[in-house]
Structure 1
Amino acid sequence: MNGAISVVGIGADGWDGLPARSRRVLGSAEVLIGGPRQLDLLPAAECPGERIAWPSPLRPAVPGLFAAHEGRTIAVLASGDPTFYGIGRTLAETVGAERLNVLPHPSSVSYACARLGWALEAVETVSLVGRPLAGLSASLHDGRRLLVLSAGAETPAEVAGLLREKGFGGTRMRVLEQLGSDRERIVDGVDGVDGTADTWPHERVDPLNVIALDLVRSPEALRLGAVPGLPDEAYEHDGQLTKRYVRAATLAALAPAPGELLWDIGGGSGSIGVEWMRTDRSCRAVAVEKDPVRAARIARNAAALGVPALQVVTASAPDGLAALPTPDAVFIGGGLTAPGLLDACWGALPAGGRLVANTVTLESEALLARWYGEHGGELVRLAVAQAVPVGGFTGWRQAMPVTQWSVTKAGAGA
């Protein structure tokens, strides 16, 4: 491979755990790049190349770093499997996958499943390395097994605190330290008692650790399903909330797919953007809300429901839309009659993009009817009634009907 960069996975067992091919690559490299911990695992006599620790911030420095050593044989060290939450992805995106010669090592997740007797394909993995703790919340489901890639020595205690807060205090917790090395051990409870989030006694553990969770939800905790239509009480709101059944229908019309970006305009409490992002970890959303109090509330709801990466833009639409990245879908939940809003959203959508708009007013309904006449799609009315006490009997209480227009923009690729 002309100009190839070797990316070598290394475990906590260091040089002794490397296969012969990885040793040959590292021993012959003129330049060795990695984190200080990985570089320290290499014996100087076997690996005489120049050693360079990653600068910070890392990603912007990568192209210049490799350009400075063009023409020399370069080996990059990575923890475990470089393409599993590792440096491999960053290098592929910055210098090109075609330049990489990746030599993987077993990942910490593979080691953890081997030690616990868990089926790797049946376990979800969540990384907290460089990511907010709140992101773990979206993966909390009763009876599931999770492996959490820890950010450091205090992460297990922080995870235990989050589990207690979310009603998962009975969750079985184990921490696997220094996997693959001769210092490997499993940290559990004390005095032979199984560790749980409620009773977790360890404030700090070895910084190199993976957290194993057998999730148990308290019967009193609010149950949050894996599909759109979360209970209304899951949200902090001031009444500006797309209600549960309309929300489920709206997300079905928006049809999120992995990696897609949503504009949630007139965010209110942020429920559409939140549930769009909960459908897949790679989904992204931008909530546009002109009221700063509501904008702050959207951010709190996003963090509480496990999608803290939801971007909140405090601005009026359409003015606040100009600088946003191109969406795959747009939801308009408020401000439909603002001059130029529908035109701006329609213009921003690429061919194949979806637009969904909800309204309860006659004025906005007339606007949607006109756009429906011009662009097609589906125009539906959603009516929900709930059973409520009527004296000693039960009757129906009708909510305001919601008119919904949904359309896919035609054109090449649609």
Structure 2
Amino acid sequence: MIKFILVVTMSAGLIGLVTTAASPAQAGPAGRGELLSAVPITGLTPAQVTELLAGHGIDTGSVRHGVDAYRLEYRTTGADGRLVTASGAVALPRGGGHRLPTVGFQHGTIAAKAEAGSVNSDNNRLAPITFTAAGYATVAPDYLGLGTGDGPHPYLDLPTETSASVDMLRAADTFVRRTGRTLDRRMLLTGFSQGGPAAMALGRALQEGADPRFSVRAIAGVSGIYDLFGTQFPRALDGTIVPKLATISTAYYLTAMNRLYTIYGQPSRAFRAPYDTVVEGLFDGMHSGLDIAANLPNTPADLLTDWAVQQLRRPTGPMLHAARASDGSCTGWTPRAAVRLFAATGGDELVPIGNSTQCQEAFQGRGVTTPITDLGRVDHNTSAKRAYPLMLDFFASQR
């Protein structure tokens, strides 16, 4: 997952500063979703969008509009239920109608706050630009603890990803109305990698009434980590996933879950020396993927204790509570909206396709047809770039 922290240089002109705040009537319960500020971060003409996307191997046939993007700061709740500040990006097309069809995009794994799409013009900004250039408003939360948000990031924790995303929708709705336009609240949801299960969990929450103003029209996930303990962690431990990347991702998960559930207490219970003295500090939101990689060993076996390996294979106690909160985005519910999965049948070094087939089987077991679009034999990043234009075709078919 850390591998796709790739910084790109965007040809963008910044436009004037906008700050605003939501009125109490527009905020969610107890201040959730209150818009604190909005700052422009990207302005692109159609020609600049085309040049940018083509440079990253993304099909440009859907480019119709220029794009203006803004970083929003808003109120949401942390894992303890207290109000915190979070951030995210909203991208709006130049031109188009007054009421904008709306995509909710959930990004893939990053470790550093500064690498969030609302702050840095990295790969996590490519999807919003692709969708928005086709005429959609795109709402892209950073999740908790990334971008300009408070605290560390609770990596892969579905409850906080969901609450932060619902509140981002509320804040974005307020902001867009202040620009003189409105969002179509029948959401088209999508996400890449970490964002795949986050999109599913958001879809479930909206379907179950998390905010009755928003509904779900379709959900599309690409190369998502839908089956952590049945597919992802077993493949991380058996060498199927590139070992260095498996080392980083398991360390990220364990340190994040320990902050929420006190899984291991002392780092030495989960991590071998000498890494037990440094691993938690690497995931403080200040270290880049390259920094983390340079300070961790090359294989999970060199990092993880036997106890940690066993917990990743068969979680018990606090780890089982963490597993229940971070896994199962495709189980236990029946989507009423159309669902489409996108995945590489081979070549993905980070997220095995078994994640997608398990999600497909879970939904189809509840009577929901869930096609998987084969993206070919490509690596993880390329799977996303191939999928985004195909998602636009899928979204266009959902009226």
Could you state the TM-score of these two structures normalised by the residue count of structure 1?
A: 0.26
Larger helix share, 1 or 2? 2
Larger radius of gyration: 1
Bigger relative CO (Cα 8 Å, ≥ 6 apart): 2
